[in-house]
Amino acid sequence: MSRPHRRNDREGRHSGGFRRSHAPRPEGGLEWLWGRHAVQAALANPRREQLARVILAPGRTLEGERGPKPEIMEPREIDRLLPPGAVHQGFALLAAPAESADIEDIAWPAEGVILMLDQVTDPQNVGAILRSAAAFGARGVVIQDRHAPTLSGALAKAAAGAADVIPVVRATNLSRALEKLAEMGWRVVGLDSHASGALHEVLDGAPTVLVLGSEGEGMRRLVSEHCDAVARIAMADAFESLNVSNAAAVALYQARQLARPVNQDP
């Protein structure tokens, strides 16, 4: 993977990349989402079964009738419900996490591109990656269950609704997930800024799983060993790496350009 210039030290890994918040923690496993696009997409997502509260500022409206009756609050009142600095635009939703998709949901039939994130922990990065994945037509995104942020809060805001649009699979073991994808006809390409081959040379139009590693350390050894090829994003000699979310956007674009048309035999 193209390694970024941001740190991911032990403290960041232990915290999962989350910023501390002085807002009251929701109870019962519920999570706050905020921002118009994030709230609207979450309300429309059937994988979010428990919708507890919808909060709107005066004059704000939402499409559709799913979810509880909106509570009207002044923006400053909404501020007190959410983490400091949350840019909510007058929209907030308290809901249970979305149900994880299954590998089969996104991998059959084998065509197009799937994205896998190996312990990418920063919510802003993951949100931006989900947005790019939706924009470039990825089939879905696979993340590790225990080392990835929840699809709420700052992540959902950064994703601008994509966190509830594109299927997300939370896998316990990424290596086993890759083995299953390989059995279903997928080719696995890992990104590493030190790889000898360039991504546009390695991609061949086959159904492809693009694997990106963590912000600081890249892919783990066992995940890398399950790749059919490892490649780098070609860049100017004066610059070595990209932020992981930027690398994902470039890789998805290149893969989309080379992908075989859907349902076309090789």
**Domain ranges within the chain, ordered by starting residue:** 30-95, 103-258
Residue pLDDT tens, the chain, 266 long:
444 333 333 333 333 333 334 455 665 689 999 999 999 999 999 989 899 999 999 999 999 888 999 999 999 999 999 999 999 999 999 999 888 999 999 999 999 999 999 989 899 999 999 999 999 999 999 998 887 888 889 999 999 999 999 999 999 999 999 999 999 999 999 998 888 889 989 999 899 999 999 877 888 999 999 999 999 888 776 566 788 999 999 999 999 888 765 554 44
**What is the per-residue pLDDT for 65?**
82
* Of residues 100, 105, 83, the one with CA closest to residue 92: 83
Query: What pLDDT score was predicted for residue 14?
Result: 32
Q: Tell me how far CA of residue 49 lies from CA of 32, 46, 66, 167, 259, in angstroms.
A: 14, 6, 10, 15, 34
- Topology, domain 103-258: Alpha/beta knot (3.40.1280)
Please state the φ and ψ torsions of residue 156, each to the nearest 5 degrees: -65, -35
Check residue 15 and give its pLDDT. Answer: 32
Place of tokens 């800024």: 193
Measured CA angle at 171 (ends 161, 106), to 5 deg: 60
In the chain, what is the straight-line distance between the N-terminal and C-terminal CA atoms, in Å? 28
**Residue 19 to residue 155: CA distance in whole angstroms:** 11
Q: Give the pLDDT confidence score for residue 7 in this predicted structure.
A: 37
Q: What is the chain's Cα-based Rg? A: 19
